[in-house]
Structure 1
Amino acid sequence: MNRYVSSLFLLATLALPETWAGSHSLKYFSAAVSWPELAEPRFFAVGYVDDLQFARFDSDSESQREEPRAPWMDQVDQVDPDYWDRNTRFHKAAAQSFRIRLQTLRSSYNQSEGGVHTFQHLCGCEVSPELTFKRGFYQFAYDGHDYLALDTETYTWTASVPQALNSKLELEADSSISKERKAYLEETCVQWVKKYLEIGKESLKRTDPPSVQVTHHTAPNGEVILRCRAQDFYPADISLTWLRDGEEQLQDTEFIETRPAGDGTFQKWASVGVTSGQEGKYACRVQHEGLPEPLTLKWEPQSSSTWYIVGGIAVLTIGVIAGFVIWRETSGGNRGHRIQPPV
């Protein structure tokens, strides 16, 4: 259970004097988790900027406060002296609201008091390389399934299940709620992306090229699989493409999503099924901001464990990648809908 909930995250504003390469994002993941051994549901909130964790709140922590999770966040109070106190107040209020919603949702779904249940929330924004608003997200889930979401094109609410219809109607009956969310996503969130990028520019502006390895596997059914794995790279945007005689093999390729490695870098792999004896026809093409040009690699039988390293020594990290299945909102009245996201 701790592994499941250990990855949840946070949000928050200034124009930078330069243009940053690539798009940027600010996301908060929050969750209340109940299970029989707990006296009351445990609440987590975690903030990410460009997919790197920078702050965290845990209702079971000794400090009972939001805490920094990136070295550069020690400077945030120079920009906003009330930052930690304000966000701590928000998270404590959200924890209480989420606990009430868990009770309401168990009733709506006719569930007993026992068992494990989660109420989850994702909010945040993405900005362009010029640091202008690109898109926003404000979503809720119950027990890992979509529940309620704000349509950021029309700023109306979408109920994913019948149990969310009452909340949808209540939210849409008060147009000021959608207007507040719109202002937060399009203005406040974008402003805080700029602030975080400025405060943490030494870490967030860097580029780390990937280390890449191509390996050979045989499935239980005898199928031959080639896997192209990239790791140690930052930022997270990367392209792995399998080619057969120079032609892309998109339909036959299996991908995993880019994942944080737990050390400020990312990992990703792509595999393709091939006919035994035809491995030499296949090559993996890797494109990343940290590479001076695309990297093309083939499987070499005599060196199948070799890592192709660009710009440093690769270390194979076997990290616990905490899953945050998530998003969407809740039934049970407006209580909690009015809480503004943290900055």
Structure 2
Amino acid sequence: RLGPWALLVGKGGGSLGLQGGESGEFLLEFDNEEILHVDWEKKQNVWRLPDFQRFTSFEVQGALANIAVMKNNMEVLMKRSNRTRALNVAPSATVYPENAVELGDPNVLICFVDRFSPPVLNVTWLKNNEVVSEGVEETDFYPSVDNTFRKFSYLPFVPEQGDIYVCQVEHWGIPEGKMEKIWVSKAPSPIPETMENVLCALGLAFGMLGIIAGTILFFKAMRMNDRRGFM
């Protein structure tokens, strides 16, 4: 499933990724963050955040014209490099929930794959050794300043005690061909009894300090009133 690829970054933040015989991926970004990418099947822009289109616009036909130019430039650069293959850089991966975990409450598991090259990579989710695909969403390949890439994969799930989730990543740079990151669903750890005792003691201490401070202020106020009455 991992095929030939090439990448060219153009002026103004546009980048073009080509994989196999596909049309490619056109991505516009600013400060290393995606603004939009073009969905070739639907022939429309996909904004990273809907509010972005309030401040700027982009014509899909403009992307087609840019791709034609960038494809030509890419072919020239590939010939100059004698079609030398780029080095494979293995990714790192992290799995974490979007929100604090409460058993039985819907949540989202995020698999963040970072610092890999080339941008050809497969992410597969497993739950208790069974492949899960329903509801899974992925971002495009985001380029980084060090010429590597990053990608997010999202899995909606309902945490149940003991469920085991695996984010499986396939990439040319991994010696074994793929790597796995495991996340186990479990209830939040309760506060230890000793910690509860400490918190109760602190609360009691602050309460006593408040009473003492209030008493001192009360008697000071009484003395000041007595002095004023005497004068």
Deviation, 1:25, is 3.8
- What is aligned with 1:261? 144
Q: Shift of residue 285 of structure 1? A: 0.9
- Whether the aligned pair in 2 keeps the contact of 1:24 and 1:193 (CA below 8 Å) is no
- Say if 2:108 and 2:155, in contact at 8 Å, map to a contact too: yes
Alignment-derived partner of residue 35 in structure 2? none
Residue aligned with 2:10, SS: strand
SS in 2 for 1:209: coil
How far residue 258 of structure 1 moved from its aligned partner, in angstroms, is 1.7
Number of residue pairs the alignment of both structures matches: 155
Q: CA deviation at 1:289?
A: 0.8
What per-residue deviation string (whole Å, max 9, x for no partner) do you get for residues 258-281 of structure 1?
A: 212221211112121222225633
- 1:31-46 equivalent positions in 2, closer than 5 A: 45=12
* TM-score, normalised with respect to structure 1: 0.36
1:218 pairs with one of 76, 80, 99: 99
Matched, 1:207 2:73: no
1:99-248, aligned counterparts within 5 Å? Answer: 126=18, 128=20, 135=23, 143-146=56-59, 148=61, 188-189=72-73, 191-195=75-79, 197-198=81-82, 201=84, 205-218=86-99, 222-248=105-131
Offset, 1:190 = 5.4
Distance in 1 separating the partners of 2:25 and 2:91: 29
Partners of 1:234 and 1:47 lie apart in 2 by: 18
Amino acid at match of 2:121: I
Distance 1:136 1:266, change over 3 A: closer
Instruction: Please tell me whether the aligned partners of residues 163 and 185 of structure 2 are also in contact (alpha carbons under 8 angstroms).
Output: no
Higher radius of gyration, 1 or 2? 2
C-alpha separation in 2, matches of 1:149 and 1:225: 35
How far apart, in 2, do the equivalents of 1:241 and 1:285 lie?
5
**Do the aligned partners of 2:123 and 2:169 also contact (CA within 8 Å) in 1?**
yes
Q: Superposed, which structure 2 residues align to 1:85-104 within 5 Å? A: none
Give the secondary-structure state (helix, strand or coil) at the position aligned to 2:88.
coil
Q: Relative to 1, partners in 2 of residues 1:246 and 1:195: Cα closer, same or farther, differing over 3 Å?
A: same
Report the TM-score, using the length of structure 2 for normalisation: 0.50
Q: Structure 1: 5+ residue runs without aligned partners?
A: 1-20, 30-44, 52-125, 153-180, 303-343
> What is the aligned-residue RMSD (CA, Å)?
4.2
AA at the equivalent of 2:183 = W
Q: Deviations over 1:202-258 (max 9, x none)?
A: xx6101101111223426994233221111111111111212233332222232222
Q: Structure 2: which 5+ residue stretches go unaligned?
A: 27-37, 39-44, 46-52, 187-231
Does structure 1 residue 277 correspond to structure 2 residue 190? no
* Residues in 2 aligned to 1:46 and 1:150: alpha-carbon distance in whole angstroms: 12
Q: 1:279 to 1:215 in 2, by over 3 A?
A: farther
Structure-2 change in CA distance of 1:244 and 1:259 (3 Å):
same
Q: Does the CA-based 8 Å contact 2:164-2:185 persist in structure 1?
A: no
1:91 corresponds in structure 2 to: none
Q: CA separation in 2, counterparts of 1:245 and 1:277?
A: 11
Q: Which amino acid aligns with 1:22?
A: P
8 Å contact kept, 1:242–1:248: yes
**Is the aligned partner of 1:298 residue 2:182?**
yes
Quote the Cα distance in structure 2 between the aligned partners of 1:235 and 1:269: 16
What's the offset of the Cα at 1:286? 0.5
What letter is aligned with 1:260?
A: P
Change (3 A) 1:219 1:196: farther
Q: Do the aligned partners of residues 150 and 46 (structure 1) sit closer, same or farther apart at CA in structure 2, a change above 3 Å counting?
A: closer
Which digits, 9 at most, give the CA deviation of each residue in 1:116-170, with x for residues without a partner? xxxxxxxxxx475xxxx8658999x993242535879xxxxxxxxxxxxxxxxxx
C-alpha contact 2:108 2:157 (8 A) present in aligned 1: yes
Asked whether 1:28 is paired with 2:6, we answer no
